[in-house]
Amino acid sequence: MSDDKQDLGDKAKKVFEDAKETAKEAAEEAKEKAGDFAEEAKKTAQEFQEGLKDAGGGDNKKILAGILAIVLGSLGIHKFVLGYQKEGIILLALTLVGFALSCIGIGVFIVWITGLIGLIEGIIYLTKSDEDFYNTYQAGKKPWF
């Protein structure tokens, strides 16, 4: 019976050694894959940075300005996003005056007009190409339409 126990012990040692060797191989393979993944991630990040530079330095605010112009155009928030403080203040002031004068009726038209201006500008922003938008509204600083 002691021979059987000794054979089982030898078998257990052999299985343990095989498992240990398999674990080492799996660890080495995982290290290689991690290194490949790190290289691929660096390459992808570099490509993303190059693409961002080609798109105007990452400063193109076309989508944000267009959506804000359509949704909150009467408040002039899209003008502030593009860096047109004076024009943004004009739209905001007209809208606030319109709200104040809405009790006599003329204010409704003022608010309606500022909202229409925002809607038109939002549509214009979103229909221009990225390059046209950047050159016209960000580099060229064209404040209205």
Instruction: Let me know whether 101 and 38 are in one domain.
Output: no
Examine residue 78 and state whether it is found in any structural domain, yes or no.
Answer: yes
Which region among 23-27, 93-97, 123-127, 130-134 has the lowest average model confidence (pLDDT)? 23-27
Instruction: Let me know whether 84 and 135 are in one domain.
Output: yes
Instruction: Let me know whether 82 and 49 are in one domain.
Output: no
Instruction: Let me know whether 80 and 125 are in one domain.
Output: yes
Instruction: Let me know whether 88 and 39 are in one domain.
Output: no
Model confidence pTM above 0.75: no
User: What is the crossing angle of helices 106-127 and 85-100, to 10°?
Assistant: 150
The number of folded domains in the chain is 2
Closest CA to 70 of 137, 123, 129: 123
* Contact between 64 and 138 (Cβ < 8 Å): no
Among 37, 54, 71, where does a domain finish? Answer: 54
Instruction: Let me know whether 76 and 33 are in one domain.
Output: no
Determine the Cα–Cα distance for residues 33 and 30; give it in Å rounded to an integer.
5
Which domain does 24 fall in, by range?
1-54
CA angle 144, 81, 124 (to 5 degrees): 40
Instruction: Let me know whether 68 and 13 are in one domain.
Output: no
Examine residue 144 and state whether it is found in any structural domain, yes or no.
Answer: no
* Contact between 75 and 121 (Cβ < 8 Å): no
pLDDT tens readout for residues 41-91: 677 767 666 665 555 444 578 888 899 999 988 898 989 988 889 989 999
Instruction: Let me know whether 14 and 76 are in one domain.
Output: no
